[in-house]
Amino acid sequence: MSLRHRLGGSVPVLVAAVRNVSRAKLRSALAAAAILIGVVSIAVVGAGGEAFKSGQLQRVESQGATNVYVFPGPDREREYFTREDLAEIQETVGTTGVVATTTRDGQWHRRSDRSEQVSLNYVESAAALRAITPVARGELPSTWRRQAVVSARFASDHGLATGDRLRISTGDESVQTYRVVAVLSEPTGGVGSAEVYLPARALDDRQYDRARVLTGSADEAELTAALLREEFNERRDRLLVFELTSLLRLFTQVVNGINTFLVGIGAISLVVAGVAIANTMLMAVIRRREEIGVLRAVGYSRGAVVRILLAEAGLIGAAGATAGVVLALPAVMVANAAFLGDPLAFTPGAVGYLAAAFAFGVGISLLAGAYPAWRAANERPVDALRG
């Protein structure tokens, strides 16, 4: 007596179903293949779309979704922020950090006979610069006077390294020399990125053309933006307030919509697969009509016949769905690698789609098996056995 035989005895319905499914191997395999196609399309589209979405979200968030960007509004008399304006903004947002910057065009005197235009960004302090941009190489000085920080691209375009000197002038002022102390890492922080970063104390007017409020999360950014609009823009638009969260929400909605639509198409292919399974099962119960009559005659209940046939449909579905998920996994891993930089970075949404595709594949199969099973179980054995 084999172990397999003993084990099989505890799941007799499954044993019977396996026997029956393997009797019509080709037909069962074709029906399973139909389920496989549906499961693959749902899993790949759904989970791949999730990877795309969260990849884009991460990108956008890394580029400042936790920031609120504030500019002087059209109803202000001045087109810049003074230190008083910044204090007012700081008061409204409480302890949250505010970094004011201003962008100017400058001249870089590369050699005595030649100069080219550079975009300059003046930042209040080294700490403030560190808060808005990641530094790749070099050390920022604690008291920032005659030092410059350059963007990675600017450094590589011009072969600059820390220690090099930059001779820079703005407007009609005299040329000042700065030493490059640090290089930023790419990508530099989204809105208002510049080529060369200089200390705000180098500005004689201390006029800022923008401020950034640094919050801890995208949600906090959205709240802070609302707070600023409420405080400053009740009657007149004194501030222009931007935050990425509401854009992100729109983006998420659009991507979700497209994804749902594509997954819906996949789901239709699964419904078609369900029809294939229903057809297979219907053929099976017609071909096995007498055999099922014998089972009923020797004491199998209608319920037992239904269970065996549903198990057959479920097995075909589970085989197709398992193969489908196995085939979908590499495709989803490619999407993960492309959008998230790590093939194993399965997002919860992607795992959800994989699980849902599997469950839907098996569920459709059971549903498809229900009518043939019911029909077979309700045939009178005398009729089935009348030769």
Partner 1 sequence: MATADEPEPILRGQDVVREYRTGGQTVRALDGVDFAIRPAEFVAVVGPSGSGKSTLLNLLGLLDVPTSGRVELGGEDVSTFDQGRRTRTRKRDVGFIFQSYYLIPTLTALENVEVPRLLDRTPVETRERATELLERVGLGDRLDHAPDELSGGQKQRVATARALINDPNLLLADEPTGNLDRDTGDSILDLFDDLRTEQDVAVVTVTHDEYVADAADRVVRLIDGEVRG
In the complex, which residues of this chain contact partner 1 (CB under 8 A)? 1, 5-6, 8-10, 12-13, 15-16, 19, 23, 290-291, 293-302, 304, 380-382, 385-387
Nearer to partner 1, 129 or 308 (CB): 308
Nearer to partner 1, 238 or 296 (CB): 296
Q: Where are the beta strands (DSSP E) in the chain?
A: 67-72, 97-111, 114-123, 135-138, 147-150, 165-169, 176-184, 196-199, 210-214, 239-243
User: At its nearest, how many Å lie between partner 1 and the CB of residue 254?
Assistant: 54
Q: How far apart are CA 282 and CA 235, in angstroms?
A: 72
User: At its nearest, how many Å lie between partner 1 and the CB of residue 378?
Assistant: 10
User: At its nearest, how many Å lie between partner 1 and the CB of residue 310?
Assistant: 14
Nearer to partner 1, 153 or 302 (CB): 302
Q: Got the DSSP string for 126-186?
A: HHHHHHHS-EEEE---SS-SSEEEE-HHHHHHHT--TT-EEEEE-TTSPPEEEEEEEEEPS
User: At its nearest, how many Å lie between partner 1 and the CB of residue 359?
Assistant: 27
Nearer to partner 1, 6 or 235 (CB): 6
User: At its nearest, how many Å lie between partner 1 and the CB of residue 320?
Assistant: 22
Is the backbone peptide bond immediately before 330 cis, with ω within 30 degrees of 0? no
Q: How far apart are CA 29 and CA 357, in angstroms?
A: 19
Nearer to partner 1, 53 or 296 (CB): 296
Give backbone dihedrals phi and psi of 146, rounded to 5 degrees, phi first.
Answer: -110, 25
Q: How many residues does the chain have?
A: 387
